[in-house]
């Protein structure tokens, strides 16, 4: 049985830890995440973007997640990340997702409230949780051009939550998506987070939270990647954010880096080997290491 975001995050908020939400795009990524979570007895959120759905197909993703949930005795949430297309959101709600994000952050405050309420109407009728977003998280995603961070205003956050009834709120406090978060490590606006926390009771969500670990950048680069000067969120700042009320932490970029490093390593060190299981198997191992490390960092190990 899949768990809902609402249940899993309510426990996290009470226990003062965060649940990791990791982006799934294929079988190896899904296995890396679910094996890491099962090994550490951690609740986990398996999330797919509209880009992941376009790549893999919603039904394939759904079946793989269902299999992971059957195999592992831990709470697993199946979540739509950055839902923007109302038809896809509706399809997800009717097709086994236990949680959806409506990303109305590019809209006006009023329009964001309006569309978020509409999705909540559809979702709650089916027992599906809803994550909303207020403020703009920076960075580049497949469906979004580079955009600036617009920090979340604490009073508007209160009004947004009261008017919509969202189950969780994504806020902008200085993170951005992707591997190039800022020149010099980003600093999270923890004072702003504290002000939001004072006014808002629902669990808070941190997007763009990858830490871009040095060892992965070095490994990928050693085997031929050209990554320039990537920069992630320092791990101590993530822990500070969790201490101050963040209950869901999103990671995609670190998985992409681990995948890249693993594939490059096998291709470079065993050029005679063209078995996809060896090439993707190493990528899966490195991704599992990343997820295990982050679960420990977030404090969710042993909370299943
Ligand atoms: O925000 C989430 C991702 O890092 C972007 O993923 O390329 O699947 O849209 P995407
Ligand atoms: P990263 O790009 O920092 O991994 O953020 C992922 C994310 O927020 C997915 O919604
Ligand atoms: Zn995101």
CA separation, residue 146 to residues 90, 141, 176, 211, 216 (Å): 27, 8, 10, 19, 24
Tokens 């059957």 belong to residue: 70
Is 260 designated active site? no
Tens of pLDDT, residue by residue over 27-72, are: 999 999 999 999 999 999 999 999 999 999 999 999 999 999 999 9
Ligand 1 contacts CB of residue 35 (under 6 A):
no
Tens of pLDDT, residue by residue over 97-118, are: 999 999 999 999 999 999 999 9
Catalytic choice (73, 81, 103, 254): 81
CB contact set of 63 (below 8 Å; sequence gap of 6+): none
Q: Ligand 2 atom closest to Cα of 49?
A: 10
Measured CA to CA, the distance from residue 33 to residue 56 in angstroms comes to 17
DSSP string, 12-26: HHHHT--EEEEE--S
pTM: 0.97
């Amino acid at each position: 049985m899949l768990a809902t975001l609402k249940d899993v995050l309510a426990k996290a908020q009470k226990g003062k830890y965060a649940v990791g939400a990791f982006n799934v795009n294929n079988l190896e990524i899904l296995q890396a995440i679910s094996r890491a979570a099962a090994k550490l007895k951690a609740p986990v959120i398996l999330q797919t973007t509209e880009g992941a759905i376009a790549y893999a197909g919603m039904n394939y993703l759904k079946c793989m997640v269902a299999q992971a949930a059957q195999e592992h005795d831990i709470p697993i949430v199946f979540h739509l990340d950055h839902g923007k297309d109302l038809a896809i959101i509706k399809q997800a709600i009717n097709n086994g997702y236990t949680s959806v994000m409506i990303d109305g952050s590019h809209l006006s405050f009023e329009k964001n409230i309006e569309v978020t309420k509409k999705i909540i109407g559809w979702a709650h009728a089916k027992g599906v949780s809803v994550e909303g977003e207020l403020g703009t998280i920076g960075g580049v995603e497949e469906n979004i051009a580079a955009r600036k961070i617009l920090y979340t205003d604490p009073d508007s956050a209160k009004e947004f939550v009261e008017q919509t009834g969202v189950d969780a709120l994504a806020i902008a406090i200085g993170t951005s998506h992707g591997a190039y978060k800022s020149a010099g490590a980003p600093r999270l606006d923890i004072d702003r987070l504290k002000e939001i926390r004072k006014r808002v009771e629902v669990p808070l969500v941190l997007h763009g939270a990858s830490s871009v670990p040095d060892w992965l950048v070095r490994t990928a680069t050693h085997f031929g990647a050209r990554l320039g000067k990537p920069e992630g969120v320092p791990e101590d700042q993530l822990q500070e954010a969790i201490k101050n009320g963040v209950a869901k932490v999103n990671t995609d970029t670190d998985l992409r880096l681990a995948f890249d490093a693993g594939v490059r390593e096998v291709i470079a060190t065993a050029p005679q080997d063209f078995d996809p299981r060896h090439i993707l198997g190493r990528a899966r191992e490195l991704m599992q290491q990343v997820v295990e490390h982050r679960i420990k960092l977030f404090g969710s190990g042993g909370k299943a």
